[in-house]
Amino acid sequence: MKMIQRLSALILAAAMALTAMTGCGKGAAGDASGTAGGAADSTENKSASSADVIAIGDLAETLGAGWNYGNTLEAIADGVVSETAWGNPAASQEMMDAVAAAGFKTVRVPVSWIDKIDDANGYKVDEAWLSRVEEVVQYAYNAGLNVIINVHGDGYNSIPGGWLLVNGDDQEGIREKYKALWTQIAERFADYDEHLIFEGMNEVFDGEYHDPPKEYYENLNAFDQTFVDAVRATGGNNGHRWLLVPGWNTDIEYTCGDYGFELPEDKNTAGEGRLILSVHYYAPWDYAGDENQRVFAWGDKGQELIDAGIATAKNTASYGGQDDLIEQMDRLKTQFVDQGVPVIIGEYGCIDKSFANLDAAAAIDQNRAYFDGFLAGTAADRGITPVYWDNGYNGNYGFALFDRSTTEQTHPNIIEAIVKAVAEKDPTAGMGEAVAVAEHEAKDAIHAYLGIQTKVYTFRNGYDDGTYGHDSEWFDTLIKWDDTDGDGQSDIVDTGATLQDAEIREDGTYTVGVSGYDFSADSDGLNMLYVSTDFPYTGKMRITDVTLKIDGQEIAIDKPIISSDGSGNVYIEILNVYNEMAPNPTFDLPKESLEISFTLGNVKSAF
């Protein structure tokens, strides 16, 4: 999947906290270097038995339902690979255990290598990074999972430092570097059994959405062959390891159609073909991935939404319905599975549009479960392995199924739809009465709180912030940083402002705000302005009529972002300079007061 850096405002605030000026918010979980607790010794549970060979007839059953540990080891900022750069916690044993406990049997771990390859030193791969990748692979082994690792963002024209380019000038040099990279990866994992799969590359194409040029497709085929040859040459269990190879942009049409894809030769294996075809499925895109269209109804369940008056024909995709999906899966089975080449759908899924369409939130959630389960079950019935794309983001337009900070399931109904559909090879086997969200503790009242941060870091952080949230002495104050004792160190100062929070027991309009402080004398602008809460967004509650008042004057807000924070609680974003998707209205800073009002419906769903 292309970079989806959907960062919540709280995570962005946390990132700002890493600077010397702020201190106002907890940092992203995990260290940027990428180690996380819970790992066993790197050799404790791996298998060095070359006898543990997964036969072609057993492969799909062994792999089962898969899940992507996305936007983590492939995260890149300014050409530098950094595990937590996109706001997700570092990979952990606890998260792998949760994935296994949910019923998934395979985890795909996308990995970028861009700045970890020393071009001036024979393409030497950074040992620390290789060790970190091995540590994460071991997490999967410890959890009893199959695991796929790859070369992920290196082939993107859109990323600084991308080099594995079919349209690159020096194709011979690119192949030399690619061979050196996979040789070193394969040598590191030569003793791991076949529960570890290598995937050569991810969504490699020339960056232009057109039919593949013949010359560029030939370059891609050469990359596939280079990958296979490099791995096989390292010996050990790599002599018969399953290898995953893609066509143009992992697109089914450009792989199955007459556009130039050639499966590489694979010699000296265990007496049978050991190659797997890699494809992705995000069709129809206006349903699965387009954030700009109100398309949220798909398949037979989508028609039920139309019949019930929840959706109209305008909310359905222009192509790519159930029949199209079945046709594509049949095509893969006929052209590859039936010919002795297994297929893995390395990525699929559909974004969460419930926050952007609150009037149909619960129906959208169930339709997502239907789409994901239908694809997974249809694929499994044809011997194809589906691997869901999870980018770690649970808010508006996110793909996540888990909260990676707590490892809790955020969409158990989607997980059940996928896992049961694959296990039973039935597209609708998991469409039961599973709840759409995790259960929460019952409360007598729920609350909303103003969150704010100026450009000089006068702030009040969110309810669940680990350092300045509700558990701290500073939550009920607007604070700033100042050298009050003259020792050259910034101290926390209570500004004396008055905060207005909202206690909520029933449907109605509520207001949060701050008064008694001249923000205009403090700073020339805000970095963040939002409402945080202590109650979960259930998919049933309606949040409308969000308005902002500055010194009593109402400011128009164009489509505030209503999503969930890192704890799954309702979060209303008004302004966030770190998030280009936020409304970010322009206004003069208040001299006396700032208020945010909003109307809640179906409040009882939060209790």
Residue 239, CA distances (Å) to 187, 273, 481 in order:
11, 12, 60
- The residue type found at 189 is F
Angle at 509 between CA 504 and CA 515, to 5 degrees: 85
Tell me whether residue 203 is one of the annotated catalytic residues.
yes
Question: Whose CA is closest to 149, among 239, 252, 50, 243?
Answer: 243
d(CA 367, CA 346): 21
d(CA 323, CA 159): 36
* Biggest alpha carbon–alpha carbon distance for the chain: 79
CB 315 within 8 A of CB 294: yes
Which of the residues 187, 347, 416, 595 is marked catalytic? 347
d(CA 130, CA 116): 9
In 315-399, the DSSP E strands lie at 343-348, 384-388
d(CA 172, CA 508): 67
Which backbone phi and psi does 473 adopt, to 5 degrees?
-70, -10
Pairing of strands 275-281, 243-246: parallel
The SS3 of residue 33 is coil
Distance of CA 470 to the CA centre of its chain: 28
d(CA 20, CA 14): 12
Q: Is the peptide bond before 284 cis (omega within 30 degrees of 0)?
A: yes
Residue 442 burial class via C-beta count within 10 angstroms: exposed 0-12, middle 13-18, buried 19 and up: exposed
Which of the residues 194, 199, 203, 595 is marked catalytic? 203
CB 155 within 8 A of CB 203: yes
Q: Which residues of 129-142 are buried (b: 16+ CB within 10 A; e: fewer)?
A: bbebbbbbbbbbbb
Give the full edge-to-edge strand order of the sheet including 498-500: 498-500, 508-515, 593-601, 542-550, 553-555
Residue 370, CB-side half-sphere exposure with 13 Å CA sphere: 20
Angle at 13 between CA 389 and CA 113, to 5 degrees: 45
Residue 586 burial class via C-beta count within 10 angstroms: exposed 0-12, middle 13-18, buried 19 and up: exposed
What positions carry a catalytic annotation? 203, 347
